[in-house]
Amino acid sequence: MEKTAHKQLSCGIELACVELPSRHAVTFEFRFLAGTANEPDDHLGLSRLIQETIDLGTENFDGRALSDAFDEIGASHGGWVGREASGYTCLVLPEFLERAIELHAEFLRRPTFPDDKVRVAIDLTRQEWTALQDDAHSLADKLIGEQAYGKYLGRHSLGEAEHLDTMKRQHLVDHWSRTYHGGRIQVSAAGAFDQQHLVDLLGTHFDGYGAAAPAGREHFDVVFNPARMHHNKDLEQQQIGVAFPGAARTDDDYSVQRAMLGILSGGMSSRLFTEVREKLGLVYWVSAWGECPRGSGMIFLGASTTPDRCDETYRALLREVDRLSEDLTTEELDRAVSGLVAKIETQGDATRARCSQLAEDLFQFNRPMDRAEKIAKLKAVTVDDIHRYLADHPREALSVVTLGPRVLEGSETAEPCSAGEPRS
Amino acid sequence: MNDPYTLHTLPNGLRIVIERMPEVNSAAAGFLARTGARDEVPELAGVSHFLEHMCFKGTAKRDWQQTSVDFDKLGSIYNAFTSADRTFYYGWVPKRSIRDQIEIVADMMRPALPEEEFATEKNVILEEIAMAKDSIDHVAFDFVLEKVFEGHPLAWPVLGYDTTVTDLTRDQMHAYFEKRYAADNMMLIVAGNVDPAEIIATAEDLCGHWKPAESKGERKTPEIRTGVANRVVDRFNQQVIAMNFPGPGAGDPLSETADVAASILGGGNSRFFWNIVQSGLSPSAGCFRFDLGDCGLTILTAQTDADVDGVEKLADALREEARDICHNKVRPEEVQRVKNKRRTGLAVEGESPYHRLVQIMDDADYRGAPRTVEQRLADVEAVSVDSVAEFFERYPIDRDGFLIGVGPREWPNCG
């Protein structure tokens, strides 16, 4: 029997968890409410550097010993850095949950950031910058994110290449001290465990972890930049990215937006796949997706195509969004919604997916959301809702980025270094 | 524990493998066609992958849009992929929809190959090839296969070449289909909360009329070559190094040991991570296996900024680690650490019908029968310090292999 709980712990941690007794594993996430948007302006990239080095030395372990300790319990763990948060995820067998929490406390609370490891991490980040140049899709993703979101939310996890030259261990220590404490932590967990036992474990290992008062709950504003920029690069394909503001996760229109994205890009019968790829044969990859920083939303359209088809592909992308106002049918909407609902059900079998959903609910709504509630909202979306959504989110002023050898009609060309190349 | 598997073969030779997973609420089904790039002739390079796309483009019963609509109505998580030796089509749905899911995929396995769709889809494939050329990893891997398997069908890319895809005709594809998608060259795999008797009855109904092959053709085991080669691609900024050595095939008794050895050398908490990545030589260094039914490769790979000194140092570091693991036994705790992680991975694999589907395909195709999670765990547990030593004795990585460089530098020197 599933049992969900939402608790505020005295150490500052906000916990959401679901007991799934029939599962054979536990998965949990520590989410710190500080991401790239929270970094100091002159040292962008700190969040990622902290994550790369935080487990390479602690008060009681060197990096290798800590990794060995995780491997002794067979834990699969990793991390991510986002615009407004940074997370540490772990999958472990139920009998090792206690040890896994203890080891997380060790590196989250007591990192030493060894100077030699920090210097290596900075060197490797320089190489990651070079590697990014060889990954056209990720580079285009970085460029459209920077342009569409603006100064704070548009930052990339690699930061700025020139900031690496002045980055020192002390910068990591200072930023870690500011952003890693109990009041900024949300923990989510799913799987075979006892809730009270988990609460006790977190209390034992995280009581006294810095300030417990809630922090990091503020929103960063999107500073939407409607522009059309081209970045020259020698590529076989042209990368196209388009963005316009959408609904926030907490808006009533979020379910409408989700259904609309399902119609545009939810499966092989979706409009972008059907029209741009299968009927016109313009692309292999085409997609529409939404991102939701807290309190805001952004819709993205993306495609890659050979340069002489770039303008036609761009027009086709926009035409498919506009056409939703003209000829959307109830059958098409119902299909998209039933697809989304079925996927919620199917992925419910995966413990990791359940934990991710909880973590996202906590982040966006400050509470776990009932799956039935989400499904009911999706099922309530009508064709008129989609029409209204499109009218409420006009697309006259778009943020557009192209990366490749050909300038899109009406685009300005960016300075060469703005394609993300390291300047030093 | 009760055997969760039901194995059945239809009179036309179609093999059916079913795993019951009563604790989940979903089910996944897939059709395996035992065909891929290695079954092509040079002028048809890429036909297997192109055919995979065309199976989504209409049948006698549905046009392509109806196929897509029917998949999406089920809320299926579905796709297909083509490799050197297999093509696999699958869908993962709530358990109530499994019969409908099997029906759609079975229908796709008898495609109409309409001429007008063939012409449009050719453009999509050419875009996919162009996309691959922008990926340094893709270019490097294709170059590895080209050199290591030179003279054998495994040498050409799964996507084919611009020229072969452009020149391919619908009739050539149809002839290839007739030969390779015969009932006795295919397998239906189902995993999830299902009733095996219902699945078999469904398969008999939908696939019982498929014809067996008159002749499937023989696959030749490739010779694995040694040498040195580089491919200069000016537009890339990093240099990829790949050191390639013969390794066990997927069905080899040493296969599990090879996986453990690769993890010790180039996995997460590995020798490469601590001795190469953490010394700042490369942001990514790994050891991978490329394994087919009858052959395999062990590939040591890393990439770095393309200055010559850095590339040489990185290559030396990879060689040093390879020498050390071949000449000195690994430590028991290194083996145990990998086993522990595998145990956790297997615990969650058992809750996902889709992930079980892929594993069952590997086992049933390469080993002849599926293995339960418990059996796989037992096979992993049997790996030891001595079996790792035996692996490196039989498949050494400290001598002549094929050294490959891809990037802006003319490295390694092939003179």
Other Cβ atoms less than 10 A from the Cβ of A424: the count is 9
In contact, A18 and A68? CB cutoff 8 Å = no
Q: What is the dihedral of CA A367, A247, A82, A99, to 10 degrees?
A: 20
Q: Which H/E stretch holds residue A365? A: helix A351-365
pLDDT at A418 exceeding the cut of 70 = no
Q: List the 90-149 stretch of A: residues with Cβ below 8 A of B.
A: 91-93, 117, 119-120, 123-124, 126-128, 130-131, 133-136
Same structural domain, B9 and B144: yes
**ipTM of this complex prediction, to 2 decimal places:** 0.93
Give the gyration radius of chain A's Cα atoms.
23
Residue A422 has pLDDT above 60, yes or no: no
**pLDDT over 70 at B1, yes or no:** no
d(CA B92, nearest CA chain A) in Å: 8
In a domain, B345, yes or no: yes
pLDDT at A349: 81
User: Mind telling me how many Å the CA of A223 is from chain B's nearest CA?
Assistant: 32
Residues B316 and B257 in one domain: yes
- Based on the fold, state whether residues B93 and B184 are members of the same structural domain: yes
Mean per-residue pLDDT, A201-220 = 95
Work out the average pLDDT over B349-359: 89
Estimate the share of chain B in helix, then strand, then coil, as percent rounded to the nearest 5: 45, 20, 35
- What residue segments make up the domains of chain A, in order of their start? 3-206, 227-419
For residue B377, what are its two tokens? 């765990």
Token pair for residue B194? 């299902």
Instruction: Grade residue A409 by pLDDT with cuts at 50, 70 and 90.
Output: confident
Asked, for residue B222, whether it belongs to a domain, the answer is no
B91 and B158, same domain (yes or no): yes
CB atoms B344 and A124 under 8 Å? no
Q: Which helix (H) or strand (E) holds B35?
A: none
Give the list of residues 6+ apart from residue B116 with CB closer than 8 angstroms, or none: none
For A231: left if phi > 0, alpha if psi spans -120 to 50, otherwise beta; the answer is beta
Residues B134 and B24 in one domain: yes
Mean pLDDT of B140-162: 97
Tokens for A192, please give them: 């075979």
- State whether B344 and A134 contact (CB < 8 Å): no
Q: How far is it, in rounded angstroms, from Cα B128 to Cα B120?
A: 13
Residues B67 and B10 in one domain: yes
Mean pLDDT of A31-38: 98
Q: Which residues of B234-249 are buried (b: 16+ CB within 10 A; e: fewer)?
A: ebbbbbbbbbbbbbbb
How far is A225 from B230, CA to CA, in rounded Å?
A: 44
CB pairs under 8 A between A and B: 190
Lookup: tokens for B374: 């418990």
Contact B347 A126 (CB under 8 A): no
Contact assignment for A24 to B348 by CB distance below 8 Å: yes
Strand partners, A186: A14, A31
pTM of the model: 0.94
B27 contact residues in A (CB cutoff 8 A): none
Whether residues B185 and B147 share a domain: the answer is yes
Give me the mean pLDDT over the A67-79 stretch: 97
CB B180 within 8 A of CB B54: no
> Considering the domain boundaries, does residue B307 fall inside one?
yes
**3-state secondary structure (DSSP) of residue B300:** strand
A3-206 and A227-419, same CATH topology: yes
Nearest to B72 among A117, A268, A352 (CB): A268
| Homologous superfamily in CATH for domain A227-419 | Metalloenzyme, LuxS/M16 peptidase-like (3.30.830.10)
The phi and psi torsions of A400 (rounded to 5 degrees) equal -125, 135
Average the pLDDT over each of A86-95, B300-309, B311-320 and give the range with the smallest value.
B300-309
A283's tokens = 């692309």
> Please, which pLDDT band fits residue B350 given cuts at 50, 70 and 90?
confident
How confident is the model over B77-117, as pLDDT tens digits?
Answer: 999 999 999 999 999 999 999 999 999 999 999 999 999 99
Residues B104, B89 contacting (CB under 8 angstroms): no
| CB contact (8 A) between residue A71 and residue B341 | yes
> Does the residue B340 lie in any domain?
yes
Residues B266 and B200 in one domain: no
Contact A383, A342 (CB under 8 A): no
- Which of A143, A163, A165 is closest to A154 using CA atoms? A143
pLDDT at A419 over 90: no
DSSP string, A99-163: HHHHHHHHHHHSB---HHHHHHHHHHHHHHHHHHHTBHHHHHHHHHHHHHH-TTTT--TT--GGG
Q: Which amino acid is at B393?
A: E
Q: How far is CA B345 from CA A76, B252, B306, B349, in A?
A: 8, 22, 36, 6
Amino acid (one-letter) located at A226: P
Residues B273, B349, single domain; the answer is yes
Segment A47-71 shows an average pLDDT of 97
Name the B residues in 250-269 with CB < 8 Å from any A CB. 268-269
What's the rounded mean pLDDT across residues A281-306?
97
* Number of independent structural domains in chain B: 2
pLDDT of residue A420: 47
Domain extent for B32? 5-207
Q: Which of A56, A269, A343 sits opposite B68 (nearest CB)?
A: A269
What's residue A99's pLDDT? 98
Q: How far apart are CA B261 and CA B298, in angstroms?
A: 10
Q: Are B168 and B251 part of one and the same domain?
A: no
Provide the 8-state DSSP code for A88. Answer: E
Distances (CA, A) of B342 to A28, A157, B339: 18, 30, 5
Contact A408, A228 (CB under 8 A): yes
User: Could you tell me the two tokens for A110?
Assistant: 């007591």
Contacting residues for B63 by C-beta, under 8 A, at least 6 apart: none
Tokens for A282?
């313009």
Give backbone dihedrals phi and psi of B284, rounded to 5 degrees, phi first: -150, 125
The residue assigned the tokens 């080095």 is A53
Give the residue among A97, A98, A102 at the shortest CA–CA distance from A23. A97
**3 state DSSP class of A63:** helix
Secondary structure percentages of chain A, helix, strand, coil, to 5? 45, 20, 35
What is the distance, to the nearest Å, from the Cα of residue B364 to the centroid of all Cα atoms in its chain? 14
Query: Cα A416 to the chain's mean position, in Å?
Result: 28
Quick one: average pLDDT of B271-296? 96
Mean pLDDT score of chain A, rounded to an integer? 94
CA contacts within 13 A on the Cβ side of B402: 24
How far away is chain B from the Cα of A90, in angstroms, using its nearest Cα? 11
Non-local (6+) Cβ contacts of A152 within 8 A are: A37, A220, A221, A223
In this prediction, residue B314 carries a pLDDT of 96
Confidence of residue A211 (pLDDT cuts 50, 70, 90): very high
- Residue B155 belongs to some domain of the structure: yes
pLDDT of residue A416: 62
**Is residue B412 domain-resident?**
no
The structure tokens listed for B220 are 């030749």
* CATH number for the domain running over A3-206: 3.30.830.10
Distance from CA of A211 to the nearest CA of B (A): 33
- B414 and chain A: CB distance < 8 Å anywhere? no
Could you tell me how far CA A199 lies from the centroid of its own chain? 27
Q: Is the pLDDT of residue B325 over 90?
A: yes
Instruction: Determine the Cα–Cα distance for residues A4 and A333; give it in Å rounded to an integer.
Output: 31
Quick one: B203 and B231 in the same domain?
no
Question: Which residue type does A109 have?
Answer: R
**Angle between helices A63-72 and B332-349 in degrees, nearest 10:** 50
Q: Measured between CB atoms, does B141 come within 8 Å of chain A?
A: no
What span, in angstroms and rounded, lies between the C-alpha atoms of B15 and B369? 11
pLDDT score, position A149: 96
Here the CATH number for the domain that contains residue B333 is 3.30.830.10
- Residue B351 has a pLDDT of 83
User: Following DSSP, what letter does each residue of B301-325 receive, concatenated?
Assistant: EEEEES-HHHHHHHHHHHHHHHHHH
> CB-based contact (8 Å) between A23 and chain B?
yes
In a 10 Å sphere around its CB, with 0-12 CB exposed, 13-18 middle and 19+ buried, how is residue A330 labelled? exposed
Q: Closest approach of chain A CAs to the CA of B151, in angstroms?
A: 28
Is the minimum CB–CB distance between B121 and chain A shorter than 8 Å?
A: yes
pLDDT band at A413 (very low <50, low <70, confident <90, very high): confident
pLDDT of residue B307: 81
Residues B166, B292: one domain?
no
Res A414: pLDDT = 84
